[in-house]
Structure 1
Amino acid sequence: MNTKKKDNAVPKGKLLIIGGKEDRDGTDVEMKHRNKEFIPHEILKLLLKNKTDRIEVITTASSEPESMRETYAKTFKEIGYTNFGFIHFADKAEHEYLERIRKSKVVFFTGGDQKRICDEIRNTEICDILAEKYFNEENFIIAGTSAGAMCMPEIIICEAEKDEAILENDIRISSGLGFLSGCIVDTHFVHRGRFGRLAHAIMLHRECFGIGLGEDTALLIEEGKKAICKGSGMVIAISGKEIGKTNIETVEDGHPVYGENIKAHIITDGCSINLESGEFNAP
């Protein structure tokens, strides 16, 4: 993985990062009856063109893998997918899992705890296989929803407070799976009021874009940087590259953080953004 990054390799595969609560069995999508452009299962339909290709669903993040299996099995059947399976790494059938991932066209990470995914998979042969396929296999997709999306970048938010003020030391940053460079991803962004914690992460890592994914909303990313928005909600992209006055480097523990000139884009279905240059395009 690191060698490919040093060589500036352009991924041939795609990433699909979802803000959680995408339209699926048992999920009441808030915008379903309000957004006139709502499309049932719009995001999950992006996983495959050929409905007989293999999807492997990794439930490692979840404390309720059986529930995840039931939900996605029913939803995938409704969409028409016929070839899918589920992997939970606590089962430890590693050789079988490696072969299944090698043969897949899509690997999909469910929600739960993003740190659990990274602790289980980062720096393993499974992660190496995913990286190999992502960089070298045309149209291979690594997808994730909620925690499954948050784990994709090199840097992840693994814990943060939800307070009115941004306070020093109220956020914990860790290493992610490393499939997405130059970004930090947060999910359930609007519904759970997470602007402050993502802004805080970006102030600490100004070289990165902050990607705040709304529910039932996703970015489909090609070439590691060309992202188009899909779904019924919105994505907020935050840039700290032009921050002016800030106390982020001098503030003491428990004291509030401030920052000048943090910029944001509002991205909705059909809009696109280059995650490297920041170039924004409307449909």
Structure 2
Amino acid sequence: MEAAKTVFFTGGDQNRICEALKQSILRDLLRRKYKEEDDFMIAGTSAGAMCMPKIVILEAINGEAILEYDIELNSGFGFIENCIIDTYFVHRARFVRLAHATILHQECWGIGLGEDTALLIEEGYKATCRGSGSVWIINAREIGQTNTEMAEKGFPIYAENLKVHILTDNCKIDFSSNLFEGANTGKN
């Protein structure tokens, strides 16, 4: 593993993947390589991608409303500090669960990965969308009113001023400055 230039995590069960590696020497080695080696890449698909950040969605009720206590979060690998990733985002209608996780952790960006699409993150904050689908970015940093602190179990959550960006192939976002750059379509 010391000599590896790329490590790829496959899908499966994000809880199982995280628990297997969370306290391991391998995870520490991968974190060091990710932070220190310019030519090292770590990637994942499905549950493998969801495990990359510090916070991971383990389970959530996938309904039309955000309900208090309907989501279970845990710690992920921590390769990326300030985001929460969800996969099959459009196909499985996971906007509500990612929005809920992001509302609970407003310091994090919600990243919803669509089918056949990736988000390449360089230096921990420069992100570029690649693929034929889309990546949805949820920003809860400027939320106004919300009832997350006072809602009882099973009651709906509301949030004011939740922001969403939709990235397609070659769109970029800088997570440190919140600057969005659309893709060049070739038309003037």
Shorter-chain TM-score: what band?
Answer: over 0.9
In the other structure, the counterpart of 2:77 is: 177
In the other structure, the counterpart of 2:108 is: 208
For residues 193-233 of structure 1, give each alpha carbon's deviation from its aligned partner in whole angstroms, at most 9, with x where no partner exists: 00000000011001111001101100111111101000000
In the other structure, the counterpart of 2:51 is: 151
Q: Which amino acid aligns with 1:166?
A: I
Q: Which has the bigger relative contact order, CA under 8 A and spacing at least 6? A: 1
Q: 1:133 Cα deviation (Å)?
A: 1.2
| Cα distance in 1, alignment partners of residues 47 and 173 from structure 2 | 22
Q: 1:278 Cα deviation (Å)?
A: 1.5
Superposition map of 1:78-89 within 5 A: none
For residues 129-175 of structure 1, give each alpha carbon's deviation from its aligned partner in whole angstroms, at most 9, with x where no partner exists: 11121122222000000100000000111110111111111000100
- % identical equivalent positions: 59
Matched, 1:261 2:161: yes
Q: In angstroms, what is the RMSD of aligned CA positions?
A: 0.8
Give the TM-score of the pair, scaled to structure 1. Answer: 0.64
SS at match of 1:197: helix
Q: Say if 1:210 and 1:239, in contact at 8 Å, map to a contact too.
A: yes
Q: Which amino acid aligns with 1:240?
A: A
| Cα distance in 1, alignment partners of residues 106 and 112 from structure 2 | 15
SS at match of 1:184: strand
Superposition map of 1:228-267 within 5 A: 228-267=128-167
Matched, 1:225 2:134: no
Matched, 1:197 2:78: no
Q: Say if 1:152 and 1:179, in contact at 8 Å, map to a contact too.
A: yes
SS at match of 1:224: coil
Q: Which amino acid aligns with 1:120?
A: A
Instruction: Decide which structure has greater strand share.
Output: 2
- Unaligned runs of 5+ residues in structure 2 are 184-188
| Cα distance in 2, alignment partners of residues 277 and 156 from structure 1 | 23
Give the TM-score of the pair, scaled to structure 2. Answer: 0.95
| Cα distance in 2, alignment partners of residues 139 and 282 from structure 1 | 26
Q: 1:277 Cα deviation (Å)?
A: 2.1
| Cα distance in 2, alignment partners of residues 102 and 120 from structure 1 | 19
| Cα distance in 2, alignment partners of residues 132 and 246 from structure 1 | 38
In the other structure, the counterpart of 2:26 is: 126
SS at match of 1:158: strand
Instruction: Decide which structure has greater helix share.
Output: 1
Runs of 4+ in 1 over 6 A off after TM superposition: none
Q: Which amino acid aligns with 1:220?
A: L
